[in-house]
Chains A and B, each alone.
Chain A
Amino acid sequence: MATTDVGWIDAGTRPRPLVDRLQDWVTTVDHKRLGILYVGYGLLFLVIGGIEATILRLQLVRPHNGFVSPQVFNQMFTMHGTTMIFFVAMPLVFGFANYLVPLMIGARDMAFPRLNAFSFWLTAFSGLFLYFSFVGGFGLYGAGTAPDVGWFAYAPLTSKTFSPGHSTDYWTLALLVSGFGSIGTAINIIATIASMRCPGMTLGKMPLLVWLNLVMASLVILAVSPLTAAQIMLLVDRYLGGHFFDTQAGGSAVLWMHFFWVFGHPEVYVLVLPAFAFASEIIPVFSRKAMFGYPVMVAATVAIGFISMSVWAHHMFTVGMTSAGNTFFVLTTMAIAVPTGIKIFNWLATMWGGKIYFKAPMLFCIAFLFQFLIAGLTGVMMSSAPFDWQLGNSYFVVAHFHYVIVGGILFCIFAAFYYWYPKVTGRMYSEALAKLHFWLFVIGFHLTFDSMHVPGLLGMPRRIYTYEPGRGWDTWNFLTTVGVVFQAAGVLAFVFNLVRSYVRGRPAGNDPWDAWTLEWSTTSPPPEYNYATVPVVKSRRPLWDLKHPEDPDWKYE
């Protein structure tokens, strides 16, 4: 299509008309372009979700603040959560998977290119649809427009009785449609990995990123399907007189909780496994060592996949399950700490004895290790059901999962941006700006989310638009809000860097990091067909073998 092979008649003299080039993007089925579309879309919504978070934090900067009304506040936290999970994290994760998986397995595209485009556009339109609620919907008691039932939309608040109008419909339909998009992409990723690997790439020789995305995609199918089913049930309740979740007619609010969290917890691993995937590619390259314990990393990933399907009700320790039921979910939840811990140790062992280069991708990965360690430990604290009776639904939980999603996942995504930016654009980013981004974001992150733990320990529940003075929450909330300024500045530096380097960055070459996986063997940006000849691999690090013919990996694997 557009980038490399068309226009040989008068290449460089007359660019094709803008309309044609836009049409190329809209009609593309190229996995790289769809990957870029996914990522661009995720970044756009990252900014929108960030603005919503800023509004929340401005309202909470001091007790009894009047920056926004309770109705607006409730819409903002609902939209912030829904946006960040479904229209930022998921598209970013899918975008990177789309772009990288075929390249890393030596394929020329995904298994189902048109399904790929279809899935992306489903996601894209569902996000736009959700935001259309700001002009098209009505909220609780006709008070609002955008959905205001919280991102996990507990029944019966979503019933017609408590949520008349259409705001909840926008929420449920947006998630229904994006759910189909997610399932489509997940099927595509699995099929691609199963059937499109280049000669020599057995399962045991796939890059870890590919393994982790395989498990991620399997989890998407298992987790998003029940959520999608639950949306249909909710619509049946709202419009066809169903009573699944209608507690006034014998329905069960707890049933919705089970449906939501059997999605919701595996979803955390859907997002975090790709983050682990980035770390598992970046840490070895910048430590100049092979990944320590590759088979164990694969096993731990698969174990996380299985265990993650059995932990969901730890979100429900306070809903009155039996003591035996609670105890079961304590055990499964704590058990998942073991494979996760193994991963952290393996990354540390990879750095051990290496020569660590502190480029931006590695800096973000090191911060990720530190922050994910803390996030994991606060997670273990809450897996202890009695402790969770105090911590659950407090600001401690909010701090914990932002530590996971921002401190863990987003840091790895930033690392991935810098690591693969030269491959995708053919240009090098500015290292100075990237380091500025890193330090601003680290400071902002810790100011915001370290402080946020404390009010939770002091009894502050989540989702309150204002709070009483004199409970020891004021200072911590103030600090939390101050951190937003640094994070916003960091994101500004990041976006500026992406844009500026695209125009002014120096050419990056095929392999700027002296890396070892297949994508670095083709040009930057890769041609539409990825590889002129299909590569053949003999080990997990084909480019290492090429660069070190005297001591190739396949001798040891």
Chain B
Amino acid sequence: MSPTSIFAPLSTPAESIFELSILVLAIAAAIFLVVAALLVYSVVKFRRKRNDDGREPAQVYGSLQVELAWTITPVIIVLVLFLASARVVFAVQDAPRTKDSLEVTVVGHQFWWEYRYPGLKVVTANELHVPVGTRTFLNLLSADTDHSFWVPRLAGKTDLIPNHPNGTWIEPRETGLYLGQCAQYCGTQHAKMLLRVYVDSREDFDRWARQQAAAARDDGRVAGGRRVFEQTACINCHTVSGTAANGRFGPDLTHLMSRGTLGAGVVSNTPENLRAWIRRPDDFKPGSLMPPMGLSESQLDAVTAYLSTLQ
């Protein structure tokens, strides 16, 4: 079973689309069967026979009745499909916000996702957490080029376009991890701009949000690593709350270790991978905008140790 199949929806908008798609598919299949059968029949039945007498067949120039029949029938089919589609367009696009609905701002970057929860004072990257059974409205912005948010089992895709705010929403039925990826070509590493959406139970989500809203842990044992971090260009692009690092060009690292993956879903978040990523991001994601910082082996160890404490 594909974790990204559009035919396995588990969220309201994706389910509405799925129901419509079954109707559309059924009608398309019926038309295909009828017309393909006619084609096969005429090819077999009207092929030139071996004992053909060489005379031309009767010349038929047309028939108004027949033309009318195969004009009106498609018109009716089109009307049905149109009305069914329009109903879902309005139902999904103009869905009202509910009292308990959650707002998340999604900012697309080359080549990662920024998530901001204005009501909860949470900022995170690449792994979206939402509560189950709740409508979460996603306000879609872009910091650079066009992107598209597509998690097939939760909703259809909506583009993130600079200077053109968009929105979409999800309402997941079951907890779990949902996968997707950027669906609008956005540059060199469009392919590795993966989406991970964790649908948590209400309690898990609240616990996660409280933990994310807290300041970064300050562990004296890794003060050396922190010093390297703060004295390197890292801080121009990354934020770690409570430190000098307040860049917004790259992902917020305040709770880096609470995330399962690095580099927008490219590789699992282990200390070895983290160290290798810092050494040369291009080894995982050639064309990523994070440059290799040219750190020495001991500096790499220290920074990795420091970042590994950011729970």
List residues of chain A with CB under 8 Å of any chain B CB: 69-71, 74, 140-141, 143, 148, 150, 154, 156-157, 162, 247-248, 250-254, 287-290, 292-296, 318-320, 322-323, 326-327, 330-331, 334-335, 337-338, 341-342, 344-346, 348-349, 351-358, 366, 369-370, 373-374, 377-378, 380-381, 383-394, 457-468, 470-473, 548, 551, 553, 556-557
The answer to whether B260 has its CB under 8 Å from any CB of chain A is no
Contact B185 A463 (CB under 8 A): yes
Taking a contact as CB atoms under 8 Å apart, the answer to whether B157 and A392 are in contact is: yes
- Number of B interface residues at 8 Å Cβ cutoff, please give it: 89
Bound-state CA distance A349–B62 (Å) is: 9
Q: Which residues of A sit under 8 angstroms from B237, Cβ to Cβ?
A: none
Q: How far is the CA of A255 from the CA of B157 in the complex (A)?
A: 20
- Please list 10 pairs of residues, one from A and one from B, whose beta carbons are closer than 8 Å in the complex, sorted by A's number: A74-B190, A252-B163, A320-B164, A323-B94, A334-B82, A377-B31, A380-B81, A381-B21, A392-B156, A459-B5
1/0 per residue B115-153: CB within 8 Å of A?
Answer: 000000000000000000000000010001110101010
CA distance A318 to B13 in the complex (A): 14
> A250-B163, A458-B5, A461-B183 given as contacts; is B287 within 8 A of A143 (CB)?
yes
User: B188 touching A141 by the CB < 8 A rule?
Assistant: yes
Contact pattern, B 48-91, Cβ under 8 Å of A = 1, otherwise 0: 11001000111111110011001100110010011011101110
CB of B159 closer than 8 Å to a CB of A = yes
Pairwise interchain contact B163-A373, C-beta atoms closer than 8 A: no
Asked if A349 and B66 sit within 8 Å, CB to CB, the answer is: yes
Segment at the interface with A among B32-40, B249-257, B294-302 = B32-40
**What sequence of 0s and 1s flags, for each residue 176-207 of chain B, a beta carbon within 8 Å of any chain A beta carbon?**
00011111111111111010000000000000
Report if B276 contacts A (CB, 8 A): no
Q: Which residues of B contact A351 (CB under 8 A)?
A: 42-43, 46
Are the C-beta atoms of A323 and B188 separated by less than 8 Å? no
> Is A162 a contact partner of B144 (Cβ separation < 8 A)?
yes
What's the minimum C-beta distance from B131 to chain A, rounded to whole angstroms? 23
Contact B60 A289 (CB under 8 A): yes
Q: In the bound complex, do residue B74 and residue A338 qualify as a contact, i.e. CB atoms below 8 Å apart? A: yes
Contact between chains at A289 and B59 (CB < 8 Å): yes
- The listed residue (A141, A288, A348, A473) touching B42 by CB distance below 8 A is A348
Question: Which 7 pairs across A and B sit closest by C-beta, in order of nearness?
Answer: A389-B156, A459-B4, A472-B2, A464-B191, A247-B162, A320-B166, A293-B62
Question: Which chain B positions have C-beta within 8 A of A289?
Answer: 57, 59-60
Contact in complex: B56, A141 (CB < 8 Å)? no
Flag B202-215 by CB within 8 Å of A: 1 or 0 each: 00000000000000
CB neighbours (8 Å) of A551 from chain B are: 59
Residue of B1, B6, B148, B182 with highest tally of chain A CB at under 10 A: B6
Contact A326 B93, beta carbon cutoff 8 Å: yes
B62–A294 touching, CB < 8 Å: yes
B184 neighbours in A (Cβ, 8 Å) = 154, 318, 393
In Å, the complex CA distance between A123 and B230 comes to 56
B161 part of interface (Cβ distance < 8 Å): yes
B148 contact from A251, A296, A318, A457, Cβ within 8 A: A318
Q: Which residues from chain A contact B179 at a C-beta distance below 8 Å?
A: 459, 471
A157 touches B67 (CB 8 A): no
B interface residues with partner A (beta carbon < 8 Å):
1-7, 14, 16-17, 20-21, 24-25, 28, 31-32, 35-36, 38-39, 42-43, 46-49, 52, 56-63, 66-67, 70-71, 74-75, 78, 81-82, 84-86, 88-90, 92-94, 140, 144-146, 148, 150, 152, 155-159, 161-164, 166-167, 179-192, 194, 286-287
Checking B7, B52, B57, B145 against A156 with a beta-carbon cut-off of 8 angstroms, the contacting residue is B145
Could you say which residues of chain A place their CB within 8 Å of the CB of B287?
Answer: 70-71, 140-141, 143
- Given the interface pairs A251-B163, A318-B157, the reply to whether A330 lies near B47 with Cβ below 8 Å is no
- Please judge, given known A-B contacts A253-B163, A330-B82, whether A384 and B24 are in contact too, CB under 8 Å: yes
Q: Tell me which of A69, A355, A377, A386 contacts B28 (CB under 8 A).
A: A377
Q: Do A459 and B152 touch across chains, with their CB atoms under 8 A apart?
A: yes
Residues in A whose Cβ lies below 8 Å from that of B194: 468
Contact B17 A320 (CB under 8 A): no
Residues in A neighbouring B67, C-beta threshold 8 A? 293, 296, 342, 346
In whole angstroms, what is the CA distance A355 to B60 when docked? Answer: 13
Contact present for B36 and A373 (CB under 8 Å): yes
Min Cβ gap A66→B in Å is 10
Chain B residue numbers with a CB within 8 Å of A460 are 4
- B146 contacts which of A253, A342, A366 (Cβ < 8 Å)? A253
Q: Which residues of A contact B182 (CB under 8 A)?
A: 461
A320:B188 contact, CB within 8 angstroms:
no
Given A338-B71, A352-B46, A366-B39: A457 and B6 interface contact (C-beta under 8 Å): yes
**A247–B163 CA distance with the chains assembled, in angstroms:** 6
